[in-house]
Amino acid sequence: MRTMDLTPLLRSSIGFDHINRLLDTSLGSNEASYPPYNIEKVSEDDYRITIALAGFSEDDLDVAINEGVLIVSAKNNAEKEDEDDGRFLHRGIAKRSFERRFRLAETIRVMDAELKNGLLTIDLQREVPEHLKPRKIAINNAKKAGK
């Protein structure tokens, strides 16, 4: 029987999702890889998603969070006009409508989004609630408690 090494998937799932949801979306999805993106761990509690969006402006993009899912989308109204006028001999820079979804863990908060030089960067931060943080428990002496 053949086994699968899931180590690469486990590294990228920190703070973003449970492994079973990650497997469902990555193995069962035929979703196109447009637009390309990176997910990086900036520090212990900070993450960054970078999406390559050449040709898009801030007005074309929509970034929203709905039920724990970060949704980045764009609608290109000029798409049909450009195809119909016939002036392109080769179109290598895709500027088509898209929707890209990222499922976020409950402790992940979106801090900022910026479009610069065709790259959309979305900064995320993990906020661990106080009751989930590790804490030191004092050990009481039984002799002191009895007096």
CA distance linking residue 100 with residue 24, whole number of Å: 16
CA distances from 112 to 17, 42, 60, 108 (A): 20, 14, 18, 12
- pLDDT band at residue 5 under the 50/70/90 scheme: low
**Structural domains of the chain in order of their starting residue, each with its CATH number:** 7-146 (2.60.40.790)
3-state helix, strand, coil in the chain (%, to 5): 20, 30, 45
Least confident of 20-34, 53-67, 92-106, 120-134: 20-34
* Pairing state between β 46-52 and 37-41: antiparallel
Q: Which amino acid is at 75?
A: K
CA distance linking residue 27 with residue 12, whole number of Å: 15
Over residues 82-92, the pLDDT tens digits come to 555 677 788 77
Which of 86, 83, 102 is CA-nearest to residue 94?
Answer: 83
CA distances from 22 to 19, 82, 137 (A): 5, 37, 36
Q: Does residue 29 have a pLDDT over 70? A: no
Higher pLDDT, 57 or 15: 57
- pLDDT band at residue 62 under the 50/70/90 scheme: very high
The mean predicted confidence, pLDDT, of the chain is 77
The residue-averaged pLDDT of 55-60 equals 88
Percent of the chain residues past pLDDT 90, beyond the cut: 30
pLDDT for 96 equals 83
Please name the residues in contact with 36: beta carbons below 8 A apart, sequence gap of 6 or more: 51, 52
CA distances from 9 to 3, 6, 28, 76, 104 (A): 14, 5, 14, 32, 15
Over residues 39-49, the pLDDT tens digits come to 999 998 899 99
The residue-averaged pLDDT of 106-114 equals 91
